[in-house]
Amino acid sequence: MAKTDDYLPSQAEVDHVLYSKKSVNFTGVKWGPKPPPNRPLMWLQMQIIPTDQDDIPIQGLSFLLQWKPDHESQTVAGITYPKINLVALYNKKRIFAVDTYPFDKHKNSYRIDRPDYQDSVFGPHYHVYYEEAGYYSEKIGFPITSGIKPDDLVGYWNYFCNKLNVTCAGKIPIPLEDESGQIGLGL
C-alpha cells in the first residue's frame, strides 16, 4: 500500500490547483482543538474546503489552519508570538504552507533556482511545492518579507489568500474569541 509521502503530483497539477481562482466561506466555521497525538492540547485548528468559481468544492484540496497561543513569551511588551500554520493540502500532500513563528529556523534540503532562495530561513516563511525536489518537495521554504506582525492572524491569512488566489466570504474567526468579540477564558 502506498503512503502519502510516496504520492508526488505533477507540477502542472499542483500549479493549477494552487493558482486557479477559489473561494472559502467562513459562515459557521469555528476553531476546535487539534486532535492528538501530534500536538499538545492548546493547539486549535480548523479545516476548510475551498470551492471553485461555480461554488463546487475543489476535489482533493483543503486548507488547514492551526494556531497556538504564546506560551513562551519573549518579553517584548505588547507583542505576543502565537504559532500560526496555514497549510494547503492536495490529496493529503502539503503543497503550500505559511509558518509564522518569528523564532523558527527552517533549513532547506534541496536547492531551487530562485532569487529569494536561502539555505536557511529564520523567522516567518512559506513553503511551496516543487515536483523536481521529489521527497523534499514540501520542505522548501522562502522568507516572508512583508512585515506582518507576529500575532496578526488576519494579516497572514490575507498573505496566504493573496498567494493562492483565494477570496473569502465572511471573516476568519479569531481563536479564543466568542461571537461577541471577547477573548474566551478556556478551551
* pLDDT beyond 80 at 1: no
Q: What is the full DSSP assignment across 3-18?
A: -GGG----HHHHHHHH
pLDDT value, residue 107: 93
The three cell numbers of residue 181 are: 468579540
Mean pLDDT of the chain: 87
pLDDT value, residue 177: 76
Q: Write down the residue that cell numbers 510516496 correspond to.
A: 6
* pLDDT beyond 50 at 181: no
User: Are 25 and 161 a contacting pair, CB within 8 Å?
Assistant: no
Q: b/e per residue, 175-186, with b = 16+ CB within 10 A?
A: beeeeeeeeeee
Q: How far apart are the first and last CA of the chain?
A: 38
At 63, the pLDDT band (50, 70, 90 cuts) reads very high
pLDDT tens digits along 114-143: 999 999 999 999 999 999 998 888 889 999
pLDDT tens digits along 137-174: 888 999 999 989 988 999 999 999 999 999 999 999 99
Does the model's pTM come out above 0.85?
Answer: yes
* pLDDT beyond 70 at 58: yes
Helix-strand-coil split of the chain, %, nearest 5: 15, 30, 55
Strands 166-169 and 22-25: parallel
What is the CB neighbour count within 10 angstroms for residue 16?
A: 11
At 41, the pLDDT band (50, 70, 90 cuts) reads low
C-alpha pair distances (Å), 93 with each of 39, 50, 90, 122, 154 = 19, 16, 5, 24, 24
| Percent of the chain with pLDDT strictly greater than 70 | 84
3-state SS assignment for residue 157 = helix
**Angle in degrees, CA 13, 112, 14, rounded to 5:** 10
Q: How many CA atoms lie within 13 A of 35 on its CB side?
A: 3
Beta bridge partners of 94: 89
* pLDDT beyond 70 at 37: no
The three cell numbers of residue 172 are: 476568519
